[in-house]
Structure 1
């Protein structure tokens, strides 16, 4: 497998996630948003996910605890982020959510013994400076934490833990890792709908096929990201997924007819540079030794 395949799949999947606000806004205009939307989409995906998990139960049984961690962390990350975006300020939510590279990098050093190299530190710093420039940081950013802020922060923790657990579950089939969090998201969304007394609107045939199409696209994207996470270092993944944020902000500004400011362009360049640094494959020790001993 090419060493560039996982970064390419991760960047592509992150960009598609960043553009997911477009169909979500379209469905919201038809009265379907928030947890009811999550429940319908992930509930539909769970119809496909449960048979996959059951069919592969012997393969993941030895690491069932790690698969459960993948499901709970990914499921909570999705549900918490959706709740935060619905009820909170989008800029604050995204800034707090994208602190996840810090948690992922520290977790990789602790769990997998990865070294915090100079290049990795530079990539993280560039990524965070790019986030600040793209989103803009002002006095309101430093307001006291609200419930939605804590949801966004916990969502970032959830996704970081999901990525770490995905790498640790090395004997769990990729298909099971890809679909486990879908079931957890549906269960959590259903629980929140009951607690918040939210109900989906009546489904028409026109709305149903749109939900089905969006669910299918999300399943493909989920598989792409899970494959990439399985074959990449967690700290590298932490930087590359920030491409999702840039895709969301820039596409929102473009399609919303809002002109991009110079700082937004500068932020996009810095985050792109950080992604390239993080994705650049390091020379293996075997390759270095071979060169040093060559005649």
Structure 2
């Protein structure tokens, strides 16, 4: 059986570097919600009958499927849209990576997961690493734009999707994965209709690239992420997911021909240490409960 920590890290690397093909598609005229509709819509066409075929397995937890459609669908749609439209990758990632905070708190309140000192320390260390890597400053606190709100809401929805994925333990992995694609296609289709934005006219070669990206990148990344969060506690998964930030910032620095300074390296190291702490087996450390003052 594959280690869920390793599978989840692979998924985060795929998500963290997804801005590269997304910007390439944007240069072709396909970005924002139309990009989401094209990518996720292709998978959703196949996903709907497959999910319905497994309905006898998830009928007792239909609430879980609905939650994944809503939260997972919006998380994917909002993040892909913000990454394809936004120029400030650092700011987008900072807003999205409030997700570990939502996940740890949500796992504690909703799933009654243990909130240990080790887990809290890993979360704090990860947030410090994020701040160092991104170079948080006054510019970070400027008023939020529409793209900023997309990134921020994507982080919250992603955390809630992870909680729903773990709670819906009787829903097959395939249904969990494809439910998120269906939700993304629904949200993207609704947004395109409301905003009057539709798919551009592209050549057959371009649409083939979109299909390959949808199947070979988005589907694999989503399947790996669902597998990881299904087999890990929400708080632990939330910190491991921060590897996406490292992949995004380092790939942006490398491909964007930007030098990586000592601050970025220190921040990346702290995040990696936090990920190892989060994956460490729970020991007999004191548990923090809500009864504490």
Q: TM-score normalized by structure 1? A: 0.91
State the alpha-carbon separation in 1 of the partners of residues 147 and 276 from structure 2. Answer: 32
The answer on 1:192 being equivalent to 2:191 is: yes
Which one is further off, 147-156 or 132-141? 147-156
State the alpha-carbon separation in 2 of the partners of residues 154 and 95 from structure 1. Answer: 12
Deviation at 1:283, TM superposition (A): 5.1
Aligned partner of 2:242 in structure 1 is 242
- Residue aligned with 2:103, SS: helix
CA contact (8 A) 1:88 1:148 kept: no
Look at both structures and tell me which one has the larger radius of gyration over its CA atoms. 1
CA contact (8 A) 1:88 1:149 kept: no
- Mind listing any 5+ residue stretches in structure 2 that lack a counterpart? 286-293
State the alpha-carbon separation in 1 of the partners of residues 133 and 232 from structure 2. Answer: 26
- Residue aligned with 1:32, SS: coil
Q: Deviations over 1:139-174 (max 9, x none)?
A: 111223444433322211100110000011111111
Q: Deviations over 1:159-201 (max 9, x none)?
A: 0110000011111111100110101101111111111111222
Aligned partner of 2:222 in structure 1 is 222
State the alpha-carbon separation in 1 of the partners of residues 193 and 111 from structure 2. Answer: 39
State the alpha-carbon separation in 1 of the partners of residues 221 and 152 from structure 2. Answer: 23
State the alpha-carbon separation in 1 of the partners of residues 204 and 87 from structure 2. Answer: 32
Which one is further off, 130-139 or 196-205? 196-205
- Residue aligned with 1:260, SS: coil
Q: TM-score normalized by structure 2? A: 0.92
Aligned partner of 2:92 in structure 1 is 93
State the alpha-carbon separation in 2 of the partners of residues 264 and 210 from structure 1. Answer: 33
Aligned partner of 1:36 in structure 2 is 34
Deviation at 1:88, TM superposition (A): 7.5
**Residue 22 to residue 194, structure 1, CA distance change in 2 (3 Å):** same
Aligned partner of 1:144 in structure 2 is 143
- Mind listing any 5+ residue stretches in structure 1 that lack a counterpart? 286-295
Question: Residues 1-295 of structure 1: matches in 2 within 5 Å?
Answer: 1=1, 5-85=3-83, 86=85, 89-217=88-216, 218-282=218-282
Which one is further off, 139-148 or 226-235? 139-148
State the alpha-carbon separation in 1 of the partners of residues 140 and 228 from structure 2. Answer: 33
